[in-house]
Structure 1
Amino acid sequence: MYQAPVQAALPSPAHFAAVSALIKSVFHVPAVAVALHGAPANADGGVYRSFLEIPLIKDHETIGTLRILDTSERAFNERDCQLLEGFAKLVVDQVELWSEASRDGLTGAMTRRAFSESLRKSFASRQRTRSKASLILFDLDHFKRVNDTWGHAAGDAVLKAVSRTVLREMRVEDSFGRVGGEEFAVLVSNAGATTAGDVAERMRRAIESTVVEGYAHIKVTASFGVAEASDAVLDVEDWSDRADAQLYAAKEDGRNRVAIAPMAKPLTPVN
């Protein structure tokens, strides 16, 4: 099975909604799937009898595929291939523009704005589908001491090393963002607090073992807060506040640990 290189962040399926709608109308097909290496395809579920697939190529490297699907038996011709290749170039341009606008230049993580957008969409999707989702917030322990003692170049090296470590430990369906100077967030899709806690603990141990290139003498640890988007969570701000409260608790309890928010019960309406 092909294992793609880890990517810091990937556009959500909603990012391709407009071009997908255009492709559907041009080819008269019910479904279009955009699959980027490191993320699943975004097509709706269904039974399809025929498809045409074109690779998405950027800088002579394949970064994913664009596929049109039909529920009927259908033979695609050379003109269809050429037309879909044109759309594939448009998708690649969208990916590149999204990457430039949505990735933090130092760490490769999603920017605060891009991550917040993903968080809002995930919360809205959970409300519709009743699926699970969890949020991890973490920051680096005593990071100011690193900058004050060894300088900002050392601080930047630490941030980059930690980001690479986290990306290696992440599941491909999850999102990673830099939401503050030394504060990061991970959106754990289709998972409750227990699974997210396991993910956070794995990241915590990996960060603790990270060797910072050029600054091997600097030891890095991080504190984590985890909260599941349960029915008791009112909105995205409430969800973030719950994870942040656990992050604060982890620091108060000695740092370099994971704290998980207890599952709260939904408020019962008063008659």
Structure 2
Amino acid sequence: MPIAPLIATTTATTRRSGLGFAKRTYLPRIVGLAIGSLCVLAAIFPLHPPFAVWLLLAFNGFVWPHIAYQWSIRSDKPFATEIRNLLIDALMGGAWVAAMGFNALPAVVILSMMSMNNIASGGLPLFFKGLAAQIIGAVLTSAVLGFPFYPQTTPQQLYLCLPMIFIYPTFLGFVTYRTAKHLAEKKRELLRISMRDGLTGLYNRRHWEHLLHNEFDGCQRYGRKATLILMDIDHFKTINDTFGHALGDEALIVLAEELLLGLRVVDIVGRYGGDEFGAVLPNTSAEQASQALKRIQESLNVIAFREAPELRLHISAGIAEYQQGMRGYQDWLKAADGALYRAKNNGRNRQELAIPQP
């Protein structure tokens, strides 16, 4: 893949991740700063601050969250911008603590809630950066105001801090839970994609071979028996050329469904590649596997395609029972593949048993 498209793809993915981060912090910022303003209001009201301070409090509590969000989503690097916004929040938090004269309860509530938010957003590194920003904001504001110090908390101030103490942690916990649930779903989806074929839903070749390898090791270690089947659709290229690739895809899906219906839940079915499929049948002899496959072939014979009523789906298959002399699962695959090759050479729409190696 050329370097430029790869860089562009990576940049786009990084930006999407940053946008998701900005969206996740948007609502907590709105709620946190709005109810945090009550704490600040309760603490600075007895100090009779100038009107400009009230305007700044209103701006910080109710306007800044929306500006921060727009700043992030319009940025080329939304994640970095949102981290900067969080540090601005911390800086302003420290400034309000100083403006309140270091009133004990409101100060502790605001600083602890911001610290909790920073840990949830960026772990300890962001926590320590935020703590430094809070200290800087508090020191600068305190110096401007002449180092006021009114640590006493009145009952009214305590009551107005209660919403912040209860509501914000609850809300942040809900957002964190929802994010964790979303990430768990994404992880499950990625795991499914890494294991499954996108068209048929069967195991893809890489994962199917991994399971085949495990079954081979179990047979070798514990003396179990198992049978491997490799099969493909007869004249699949002709089906594609004559009826189109859409019908070819439908044929693959039909075969996958019949394999799942005709085999047991414990049997390991995968798409080996193209129109070739594989099935591992634990605790099954070659004769038993052959009988199961015959039932599947009979079911395929009666399936009619709406777009091609005359088409009948036939498969050729090679069946190889595990043999103690096999050195690795590749030998097992080779035996089944050789039997499949003979099935196709002998007229197709048939199955052949692998020839046991001496």
Q: CA deviation at 1:193?
A: 1.3
| CA offset digits 1:146-170 (Å, max 9, x no partner) | 1111111111111111111111101
Deviation at 1:171, TM superposition (A): 0.8
The AA in structure 2 aligned to 1:219 is R
Report the CA distance shift for 1:96/1:201 in structure 2 as closer, same or farther (over 3 A).
same
Q: Which runs of 5+ in 2 are unaligned?
A: 1-180
Could you tell me whether the CA contact under 8 Å between 2:300 and 2:312 is conserved in 1?
A: no
Structure ranking higher in strand proportion: 1
* Residue 168 of structure 1 pairs with residue 264 of structure 2: no
Task: Find the partner of 1:217 among 310, 320, 329.
Answer: 310
Find the partner of 1:243 among 312, 319, 336: 336
For residue 260 of structure 1, what is the aligned residue in structure 2?
353
Q: What is the SS of the residue equivalent to 2:203?
A: coil
SS at match of 1:179: strand
Output the amino acid matched with 2:266: E
**1:144 maps onto 2:237 in alignment:** yes
Query: Aligned residue for 1:134?
Result: 227
Distance 1:125 1:95, change over 3 A: farther
Identical positions, percent = 37
Shift of 1:96: 4.3
Does the Cα contact within 8 Å between 2:301 and 2:312 map onto a contact in 1? yes
Distance in 1 (CA, whole Å) between partners of 2:325 and 2:293 is 22
SS at 2:278 equivalent? strand
Query: Which deviations, in whole Å up to 9, do the C-alpha atoms of 1:35-63 show, x marking residues without a partner?
Result: xxxxxxxxxxxxxxxxxxxxxxxxxxxxx
**Kept after mapping to 1: 8 A contact 2:335/2:355:** no
What does 1:15-26 correspond to in 2, within 5 Å?
A: none
| Alpha-carbon distance between aligned partners in 2 of 1:223 and 1:160, rounded to the nearest angstrom | 17
Distance 1:160 1:212, change over 3 A: farther
TM-score, normalised relative to structure 1: 0.61
**Residue 220 of structure 1: CA displacement?**
1.0
Normalising by structure 2, we get a TM-score of 0.47
> In structure 2, what is the equivalent of residue 184 of structure 1?
277
CA distance in 1, matches of 2:306, 2:326: 41
1:156 aligned residue:
249
**Residue identity opposite 1:115 in structure 2:** W
Would the aligned equivalents of 1:208 and 1:222 in 2 still touch at CA under 8 Å? no
Q: 1 CA distance for matches of 2:184 and 2:354?
A: 39
Superposed counterparts of 1:40-59, under 5 Å: none
Question: Once the 2 structures are TM-superposed, how far is the Cα of residue 211 of structure 1 from its aligned partner?
Answer: 2.4
- Separation in 2, partners of 1:91, 1:138: 36
State the shift of 1:92 in Å.
Answer: 8.0
Which structure has the larger Rg?
A: 2
- 294, 297, 314: which one aligns with 1:201: 294
Report the CA distance shift for 1:95/1:191 in structure 2 as closer, same or farther (over 3 A). farther
- The answer to whether the 8 Å contact 2:204/2:270 transfers is yes
- C-alpha distance in structure 1 between counterparts of 2:272 and 2:337, whole Å: 12
Q: Which has the higher helix share?
A: 2
Higher relative contact order, chain-length normalized (CA < 8 Å, sep 6+): 1
Could you tell me how far apart the structure 1 residues matched to 2:185 and 2:281 are?
Answer: 26
Whole-angstrom CA distance in 1 between matches of 2:273 and 2:249: 13
Shift of 1:206: 1.9
Which consecutive residues of structure 1, in runs of 5 or more, have no partner in the other structure? 1-88, 266-271
Amino acid at match of 1:154: L
Length, aligned pairs only: 177
* 1:91 CA drift (Å): 9.3
Classify 1:133/1:94 alpha carbon distance in 2 versus 1 (closer, same or farther; 3 Å).
Answer: farther
